[in-house]
A and B are shown apart, each in its own frame.
Chain A
Amino acid sequence: MADTRTITVTVNGRVCSREVETRLTLADFLRHELNLTGTHVGCEHGVCGACTVLVGGVSARACLMLAVQCDGREVATVESLADGDELNPLQQAFRDNHGLQCGFCTPGILMTLTEFLRDHPDPGEAEVRDVLSGNLCRCTGYQAIVAATLDAAKRMRGGA
C-alpha cells in the first residue's frame, strides 16, 4: 500500500490541500498536482538549480524536498513574480538585458535572486557570481545574467 498523507501548503498565497504519496518530491507536487510548470526539473539530484523555489522565504531545491515536508508551510514559485502580464522588476531586467535564451534555467535563477536581492539590495558583481554558482545555464555564458541582476538591483533600489 502506498504511504500517503493529506497536506496543506500555501503556494504563491493560495492554500492548497492534496492527498499525496509521501515519496512525492516538492518539484513533482508543484508540476503534476498543482500544474505549476514554471518550476523546471533538470537533473533531479540537486546540481542544476532549475527547480529552485522559496520555502518559507528561503531558497531550496524542490527536487530534494518532499511535498510532505512542506505541510503547513509557504512555498513561492516563479509564477508568483509577475502581476498578470506585468513582469516584476527582476523579470523585466532579465528581458531588457537578454538574461535568458532558452529559458530553461530562468525560473530557478529568478527565485534564487529573489531571495538574494531581498537580503542584499546592493550587491557587487563577485557576490552575484557567487550566488549564481548553484544554477547552471548552458546558453548565456552568465554575462547577461550578471548584468541583468545588477540592473535589477538598481531598479529595485529606485535608481532606474
Chain B
Amino acid sequence: MKPAPFVYHDPRTVAEACDLLATRENARVLAGGQSLMPMMNFRYAMPDHLIDLNRVDELAYLRCEGEVLRVGAMTRQRDLEFSPEVGKRCPVLREALSHVGHRQTRNRGTLGGSLCHLDPSAELVNVAALLGGTLHVVSKGGARDIPFAEFAVAYMTTSLQPDELLAGATLPLPARGRGHAFAEFARRHGDFAIVACSALIGLDRDGRIADAAVALSGLGHAPVRPASIERALRGEKPGAAAFKAAAAEAGGFDAVADAYVTAAYRRHLARVLVYRALEQASMRALEAGNG
C-alpha cells in the first residue's frame, strides 16, 4: 500500500466535484494521476480526500471553434495528440505533446493536470503561454476566467484557490500561414525539458517578419514571453543576423540553478534553442507562404 489513507470520491458532475472541494478539508483533485500519484506513492502528497475527476464526463471535450480551440481540463493528452484538427490548426501543440512523457503517460495524463501541476518546464504550460490562452475556473461560489499569463504565481503554484477547479481552457489558434516550432533539450526523450522554446512567426509580403511570438521555459518558475525579443524581430528579414540577436538576448536572461543544472547552462540552452526555434518557424512560415 503506497499512498497514505484518504477518502475516495468519484463525482459524476462538476457541481458535485465543486461541492466536495468546498466542504472537505485537505482535499486534492485527481486528474490523470501521472504527477499526483507518484507524489502520493512517495507520500510527498497526503490528501485526506481524493476527488477523482475521471468520471466527470463534462470536463472532457475538444472543439475547434472559429479561431479558438476549446479544451476540457480532463481531455487526455493522447486525444490532443491524435486529433486531426489539432494537427492541422495548431501543429505546435502536437509537436510539444510528442515530448510530454511517453505513450502510456499521455494515455492517462490530461491538459488540465499538466497546467495545474505547473512544472516550470512542462511542454503544455509552454504552449499555453505561447498561445496566450484563457483558463475557465469553477467553484461552488461561481465561475471566473484567468488569463494564462496570470495563472502562475510561484514555483509550481497557480492562482487557483483551494476550492477552485480548472474546468477547461480556450486557446487562440495561430493565424493561418504562421510558421511554428517547438525546440527543447532534455536528458532523455520523454523527460521534462531542461529548457524549451516555442515560436510562431508570420511573414509579410516582402518576406519580413510581421509578427513573432516566443515562449521560453526552464529559466524560472513559469515560461516567459520575452517582449523585447518579439518586438525586435518585427520588420526584420528572417535570417542568421536576426536570429543571432534574439538568441544573444535570451542568453542574457536570469536563470535559476538546481542540483543538476547551473544557471549558466540554462542560459546557454536558451540561446541555442531560441535560435533553432526561430529558424525552423521562419522556414515553415516561408513554406506556408509559397505552398
Contact = CB atoms under 8 A, between A and B. Distances in A.
Interface in A55-95: 58-61, 63-66, 68-69
A133 B188 contact: yes
Interface string A1-15: 011010000000000
Given A112-B103, A116-B103, A134-B190, A44 B2 contact: yes
A134 B38 contact: no
A46 interface: yes
Contact of B37 (A49, A58, A65, A116): A65
Nearest to B189: A133
Q: Name B's interface SS.
A: loop
Interface in B56-98: 78
B100 to A, nearest CB: 11
B1 A22 contact: no
Contact of A65 (B1, B10, B33): B33
A46 B101 CA distance: 10
Interface stretch (A23-31, A98-106, A138-146, A149-157): A23-31
A49 B107 CA distance: 13
Given A64-B37, A130-B189, A59 B103 contact: yes
Interface residues on A, range: 20 to 34
A3 to B, nearest CB: 5
Contacts of A16: none
B235 to A, nearest CB: 39
Contact of A23 (B5, B105, B188): B5
Contacts, number: 89
B4 interface: yes
B140 interface: no
Nearest to B50: A22
A61 B4 contact: no
A131 interface: yes
Nearest to B5: A23
Contact of B41 (A44, A58, A59): A44
B104 interface: yes
A61 B103 CA distance: 10
B190 A133 contact: yes
B8 A61 contact: no
Interface in B172-194: 188-190
Interface of A: 2-3, 5, 21-25, 28, 44-46, 49, 52, 58-61, 63-66, 68-69, 112, 115-116, 130-131, 133-134
